[in-house]
Structure 1
């Protein structure tokens, strides 16, 4: 996305001016970004959007045009606008690496920076990370559903025309690849991100020729080694299938092979079985069957359960809009955790929305088989065997940590002084990490329905700090 400091909510700028006017803008602030509820009623989320977020932070600055616009609003003083002229983000960012599996109530990303810097970037960070994490998680759910098929199955992203504008489409394609999609129909996303592009033809192509067979032949003549034919413009089994078989034979006679066929309507399980049987019987076992038509993880699962023979699932609307029950938006938030070393928290009248004070670390435990067991938040040190840890939303729900776990600091410093600490990661690297992470989760966590709840717990020091700060706030409020 464009690194514009004006891609923010107005109150971020008015608060910045307030901090500046009161001389507190340079205080060191610690903000945590996290979410409280997993999307899609699932058992995990795939963390995505970190690399674009770091690009954004590195490029932020106020141009002359930016400052002129702010001046035109009549809200900002000349001395504040002049201070913005040389403004840059100079903070530290600690985060999970992109592609990792993440869970509610743990700080996924922490910004440590002068207060006015940390305040300004809230909106852009939440916009980037909420949406891409949501879509990457949806993609992973579709990919996992397709992987259950005994015949294999891949997911490609087909959703540009239904996405929330051009920038939403590009972000969704990127995130879908993080979640495991192997390609996209979006050519611009392919160019920007190096994602393989793929596609067939539309019904309009068939309708533009005298008959379906003539349309198929014309397309195959243009793309003899890359032809996938859409079968359902007239009648899938009575017209599209026999015409596709004719073209497949003609391509082979000319030294080429038909690449695939696409099904875009009807009973996809039944049709794909019938089409597969016909191509196999004719000696075209390598022709791939692509299915589209408002697919989702549940539709993919039902096709497989009914014996469908789909090789590639083109998932569009439900993927780029992250639709379905429990989708729509990821409720990530960005809360102040410390200011000048003093722990801060949002107490609120709704306990589930209270924040956790202090600068924290996130530790991830693995069992003897290398599978992830639970995450624990502490104020610093690695959790100890036998320590009692508690649920962030219910202090009465607690366990003692077993002694057979191996602990890893789950996050790392990815930006220092406003600059990356390492080279940007490639999308294939991020996708590979996501695949590995999901493979290390407890099996029940991956269930699409009623999944196992992966535990995120508070170490005793974090719970004690929360209680002390909460007691102090209550006492001060009377």
Structure 2
């Protein structure tokens, strides 16, 4: 499919008024750097999964004002003719540095850095936050659910509960990066090359005279991909016996029932009973699908209670990122340098102070590839054993790097002069990368409840730069 155009009017008005002001004062072409980061990990968890980079790069490459949009801005009577002429020629010509999608990322470290003329870097703030915040939140929720499910598969079917058509497409894409292998969203299947899966609704059963007739009709229509929803009448007294009857009839015709779906009741207990009934009837290969307001906490409870579920269909709570600490990722986008001079935000709340200047992020790993911690540093500065590093939020907290480790850079230049530096990876590649990276995190960081706090530190030079700027701003 062709890339969907993103209108530059998908922004907050103050981005445009600031641009007009920069233009008025002759500042719009001054070189600037902005960092995108978040201060709190979503879901009270130990990590987030970076996602949304490729859609963001698509948007940046194709960002243009058309004549209708310029005419609308003119009708607001806010902007000069010279400024509107400047917007008509707008192109993003900057550079972007970011991790690979699927990378586990943490609070207070840059997950996207934009270097561009001030007007360009400013205009894209809202757009980048809109894309990165949501897809990172969804990919994180998906990864938590997939890890809770263990060996079972997870199917995304949150389309009908998503935040509109755009939200539904973003959900399908981001959940794939987080490890969900298939979707019910047919358009997402076509656009992103995802496997599409589904069964039937209760209305199918209700449209026939009785449940057995409905099951037989569905099996005749889809003899090699038949999954029957068994809770319309009574799961154990009607649904399962009728599904087993249809399974026998399919086998006699040279086909096999693929699965049954449970959509209500005590899913742990019902799945154990369903597994017993299917096995006793000679159908150990029939898979059990479960749905109904599932998330990582419910799935973990089902498994702890001995549930026998093969596939979890997760919709509402995945698509809306519901749960403790969910709902939104509070990513922010802050100016950290202009005219090659480091800048920082200093407020009464020390936790909201920003880290100044251009920065590199280093991921420290041991000899087995296990991840130890991250260090944010000034350009050209690389962590070394014995180095004293500081808390990014509280400058009075520090520690020495005592471990043996290897460093790898987290931020790569993914866009230069407004153009991508490499082709977009496939979603399968990103999902495999995410799974691998999560497996190398400290185990305590992966806990969904009361996780270990992953260490993110700043280097001595960055600490000193921050303290110097703090002193200058307070005098």
Q: Same fold, TM exceeding 0.5?
A: yes
C-alpha separation in 1, matches of 2:149 and 2:130: 29
Return the match for 1:3 from 6, 14, 29. Answer: 6
C-alpha separation in 2, matches of 1:308 and 1:33: 41
Partner SS for 1:394: coil
Return the match for 1:78 from 77, 81, 89. Answer: 81
Match of 1:98 in 2: 101
Match of 2:342 in 1: 343
Q: Which runs of 5+ in 2 are unaligned?
A: none
For residues 410-468 of structure 1, give each alpha carbon's deviation from its aligned partner in whole angstroms, at most 9, with x where no partner exists: 11000000000001111111111111110110111101111111100010111111111
C-alpha separation in 2, matches of 1:462 and 1:90: 28
Match of 2:306 in 1: 307
Return the match for 1:129 from 129, 132, 139. Answer: 132
Q: Greater shift after overlay, 391-400 or 44-53?
A: 391-400
C-alpha separation in 1, matches of 2:80 and 2:55: 32
Given the alignment of the two structures, is residue 30 of structure 1 paired with residue 33 of structure 2, yes or no? yes
Given the alignment of the two structures, is residue 221 of structure 1 paired with residue 217 of structure 2, yes or no? no
Change (3 A) 1:307 1:403: closer
Given the alignment of the two structures, is residue 192 of structure 1 paired with residue 191 of structure 2, yes or no? yes
Match of 2:68 in 1: 65
C-alpha separation in 2, matches of 1:4 and 1:145: 38
Given the alignment of the two structures, is residue 415 of structure 1 paired with residue 418 of structure 2, yes or no? no
For residues 385-412 of structure 1, give each alpha carbon's deviation from its aligned partner in whole angstroms, at most 9, with x where no partner exists: 1110011112222111125100011110
Q: Which runs of 5+ in 1 are unaligned?
A: none
Does the 8 A contact of 2:350 with 2:394 survive in 1? no
Partner SS for 1:396: coil
Does the 8 A contact of 2:258 with 2:286 survive in 1? yes
Partner SS for 1:61: coil
Q: How does 1:327-476 map to 2 (within 5 A)?
A: 327-380=326-379, 381-475=381-475
C-alpha separation in 2, matches of 1:296 and 1:303: 11
Match of 1:144 in 2: 147
C-alpha separation in 1, matches of 2:285 and 2:123: 54
* Shift, 1:2, TM fit: 3.4
Alpha carbon RMSD of aligned pairs, Å?
0.8
C-alpha separation in 2, matches of 1:353 and 1:154: 40
C-alpha separation in 1, matches of 2:415 and 2:58: 11
For residues 255-299 of structure 1, give each alpha carbon's deviation from its aligned partner in whole angstroms, at most 9, with x where no partner exists: 111111100000000000011111111221111100000001000
Length-normalised TM-score, structure 1: 0.98
C-alpha separation in 2, matches of 1:449 and 1:397: 25
Partner SS for 1:12: helix
C-alpha separation in 2, matches of 1:402 and 1:436: 26
Partner SS for 1:415: strand
C-alpha separation in 1, matches of 2:262 and 2:5: 38
Partner SS for 2:397: strand
Match of 1:115 in 2: 118
Length-normalised TM-score, structure 2: 0.98
Q: Greater shift after overlay, 73-82 or 390-399?
A: 390-399
Partner SS for 1:464: helix
C-alpha separation in 2, matches of 1:397 and 1:468: 17
